[in-house]
């Protein structure tokens, strides 16, 4: 099964909101388990463990919110660039939970450390390695300000470790992606391959998120796993670069979560030749593949925006700088007036003009052009000469809407991805804790 990206990339084709997820491949050196800690009270999977048999190099980007979860605070204190495991829980964000939330997380870490160490000692190899709490990373998503149910999670650690599986089939990946969903309607999965030198490298990624995803550094939660042998410092540089035009270029509602995190883990099992420089030509294909995967996941998140019916691409070209183009793109994308116009299939391009104007950027209206789809709607500070509202009305019925703003004052550009704003968004978020 593959995600039909033509729905995203071809403006001539109506986009199906429910895209197919990709069948992820096995990543050597990784074990996964997903179970229920009954955090939702209905028995659904809500807790996952990703265990790296011989450790993994990793890099992560986190929310820029000034209020962060206990999980992110824990990760930020880990100064190592080599880890043994990642634990992810849903339903509870463990944010604004005070010292109890932090202490509860520490107790979980201690239990997991003991359980993994015991499992290693019972392995056929009889390994005597100790898994330290500083070898562990955490991620949480869910409701802010509710007591962290650490005992429920702690009590399930033995089973979580017991059910670790070496072979990751599509069912295992699906369970892991589903186990971290909140208001998501479907899991997000993506897969890519590339070569580093003459070695085939695999990249598997999962994500969750459907609202509150404008973190400027990451997305809600996204975890990427590869068998590539790449030092952590280079992983960080590549991830930061890739995030700029993927996770960092999407928005649903303009809000920033306290828990946003994207991380990449490299097991080194592909045994590609050593990389000594981030500019090494051997990394070019890897960076391109990682970008394709991250963009795929980012678009899946936007498509699954809370109550979303339409996928919107906003391309700003002819800007003085990339920053200028990005600011204008997000100014349009985060406008409730613009998003509701798209939802109502109203060809009110004046709301695009409004979004450009409120960006604070120094534009020149007389030079500007605005397109909706292939149709020029405005230029030189007025309605385009051949503008026909009937054409735009018909185009607005599509599920995939393209907006292009040409500032005609430079050569820089940036693309932002968003969705419309519907009544369903209000319904979902007004009753979020009861879902």
- What amino acid positions are annotated as catalytic residues? 219
CA atoms of 404 and 161, how far apart (whole Å): 50
Token pair, residue 375, equals 């149709």
Parallel/antiparallel/unpaired status of strands 30-35 and 221-226: unpaired
82 phi and psi angles, rounded to 5 deg:
-140, 120
Token pair, residue 110, equals 């201690």
CA atoms of 337 and 94, how far apart (whole Å): 33
CA atoms of 272 and 201, how far apart (whole Å): 8
Give CA torsion, residues 272, 274, 280, 281, to 10 deg: -20
Strand residues in 143-260 grouped as ranges (E): 188-196, 199-208, 221-226
C-alpha 38: how far from chain center: 25
Residue 311 forms beta bridges with which residues? 400, 419
Residue labelled with tokens 């000594």: 276
Categorise residue 236: left if φ over 0, alpha if ψ from -120 to 50, beta otherwise: alpha
DSSP 294-324: HHHHHHHHHHT-TT---EEEEEEEEESSHHH
Q: Which positions ≥6 away from 11 have C-beta within 8 Å?
A: 313, 373, 374, 398, 400, 402
367 phi and psi angles, rounded to 5 deg:
-100, -10
Strand residues in 211-284 grouped as ranges (E): 221-226, 261-266
């Amino acid at each position: 099964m593959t995600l039909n990206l033509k729905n995203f990339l071809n403006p001539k084709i109506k986009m199906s909101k429910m895209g197919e997820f990709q069948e992820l491949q096995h990543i050597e050196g990784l074990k996964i388990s997903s179970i229920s800690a009954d955090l939702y009270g209905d028995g659904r999977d809500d807790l996952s463990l990703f265990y790296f048999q011989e450790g993994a190099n990793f890099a992560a980007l986190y929310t820029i919110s000034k209020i962060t979860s206990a999980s992110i605070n824990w990760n930020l204190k880990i100064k190592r660039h080599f880890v043994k495991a990642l634990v992810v829980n849903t339903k509870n964000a463990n944010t604004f939970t005070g010292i109890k939330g932090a202490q509860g997380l520490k107790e979980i870490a201690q239990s997991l450390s003991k359980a993994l160490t015991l499992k290693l000692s019972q392995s056929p190899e009889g390994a005597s390695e100790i898994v330290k709490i500083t070898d562990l990373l955490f991620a949480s998503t869910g409701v802010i300000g509710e007591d962290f149910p650490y005992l429920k999670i702690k009590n399930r650690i033995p089973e979580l470790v017991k059910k670790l599986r070496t072979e990751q089939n599509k069912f295992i990946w699906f369970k892991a992606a589903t186990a971290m969903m909140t208001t998501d309607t479907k899991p997000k999965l993506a897969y890519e391959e590339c070569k580093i030198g003459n070695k085939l490298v695999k990249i598997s990624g999962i994500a969750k998120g459907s609202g509150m995803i404008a973190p400027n550094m990451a997305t809600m939660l996204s975890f990427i796993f590869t068998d590539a042998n790449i030092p952590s410092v280079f992983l960080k540089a590549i991830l930061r670069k890739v995030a700029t035009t993927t996770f960092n270029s999407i928005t649903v509602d303009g809000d920033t979560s306290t828990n946003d995190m994207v991380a990449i883990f490299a097991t080194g099992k592909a045994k590609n030749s050593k990389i000594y420089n981030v500019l090494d030509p051997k990394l070019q294909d890897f960076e391109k593949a990682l970008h394709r995967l991250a963009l795929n996941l980012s678009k899946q998140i936007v498509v699954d925006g809370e109550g979303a019916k339409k996928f919107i691409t906003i391309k700003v070209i002819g800007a003085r700088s990339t920053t200028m183009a990005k600011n204008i793109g997000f100014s349009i994308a985060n406008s409730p007036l613009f998003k509701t116009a798209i939802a109502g299939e109203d060809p009110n391009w004046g709301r695009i003009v409004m979004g450009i104007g409120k960006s604070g950027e120094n534009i020149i209206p007389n030079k500007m052009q605005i397109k909706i789809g292939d149709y020029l709607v405005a230029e030189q500070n007025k309605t385009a000469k051949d503008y026909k509202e009937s054409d735009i009305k018909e185009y607005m019925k599509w599920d995939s809407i393209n907006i292009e703003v040409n500032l005609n004052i430079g050569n820089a550009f940036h693309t932002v991805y968003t969705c419309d704003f519907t009544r369903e968004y209000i319904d979902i978020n007004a009753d979020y804790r009861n879902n």
